Chains A and B, each alone.
Chain A
Amino acid sequence: MPRQQFESVIAQATRKQLKIVNASQTISVAPSGVLNIDLYGSPNKLCKIVNLFIWQQGTFGTTGSYDIFVELDDVGVGISPNFLSKNTGFGNTARFDRNVWFAPTTGATPANSIDVISAIQQIRFDSTRALRIQLINNLNQTMTGDFLVYVAFEEEEVRL
């Protein structure tokens, strides 16, 4: 998916008045290094994931592999750890939403997509439990570039 198309998907979600958080990071991750991006929500509200967009751009290597995990930190109800692992070419975009998940170039096995979608929809983050997007560098070289993460979510009030 070209970046322009990716951005139009984000814009479309915005028009639906979903909250969009840009948790992007320019990174340099050493071999075996792990980058964690954690999102903590509002107190007394549960944040429900609607869409998660991940885009990477930079010299992430053409050989070897890297893993991306999405999980609720410390609870471990997230996606199967290997859902995007061991793919030399993750491509440059993955998208998850209610109806479709795709990695338009090479990437994860389509057979995993149902699990991915249902797992995503189970995730709620709040003020004490984080949505964690984790990138693990399995390459034998340092990964350098931009790791762009957009999270679209809705809030549910929590009655105390």
Chain B
Amino acid sequence: MMAKRITDKDEKGYTRIKDGTGAEIGKIKHGARFPDFLKPSDVIVKPSGKEEEVLKVQYVEADDVYIVVSQSQEVK
């Protein structure tokens, strides 16, 4: 299965979700907590166009904090 690609917000502030082919498969309402729908191997596409692959998403219940670890490549 192709990784989901999660792009940053559209003009209305919604976050777009696309499949690996680039087709949009949904949107997340503005204000939703970003990590709620992240999974390892998802790709976050930043406004700059830089892509970051999600390695791990951890929820720390006691502190109500999400930790998202991702990896990318420096463009020089």
Interface set of A (CB-CB < 8 Å, partner B): 19, 21, 23, 25, 29-30, 32-43, 47, 74, 127-128, 130, 136-137
Contact = CB atoms under 8 A, between A and B. Distances in A.
Interface residues of B, number: 24
A21 B60 contact: yes
Given A35-B69, A36-B69, A36-B72, A128 B34 contact: yes
A124 to B, nearest CB: 13
B64 A41 contact: yes
A21 B74 contact: no
Contact of B74 (A32, A37, A43, A128): A32
Given A32-B76, A40-B33, A43-B33, A74 B47 contact: yes
B71 A127 contact: no
Main SS class of interface, B: strand
B69 A34 contact: no
Interface string B56-76: 100010011111111111101
A23 B34 contact: no
Contacts of B74: 32-34, 136-137
Contacts of B55: 25
A128 B31 contact: yes
Given A21-B60, A42-B64, A127 B70 contact: no
A39 B76 CA distance: 26
B19 interface: no
Nearest to A19: B63
Nearest to A29: B71
23 contacts: A21-B63, A21-B65, A21-B67, A23-B69, A25-B55, A33-B74, A34-B71, A34-B74, A35-B69, A35-B70, A35-B71, A36-B52, A36-B71, A38-B67, A39-B65, A39-B66, A39-B68, A40-B34, A40-B35, A41-B65, A128-B33, A130-B68, A137-B74
Tell me which of B67, B70, B73 has the highest count of chain A C-beta atoms within 10 A of its own C-beta. B67
Given A25-B56, A33-B74, A128-B33, 11 more contacts: A23-B69, A25-B55, A33-B71, A33-B72, A34-B74, A35-B70, A38-B35, A39-B65, A40-B66, A127-B33, A137-B74
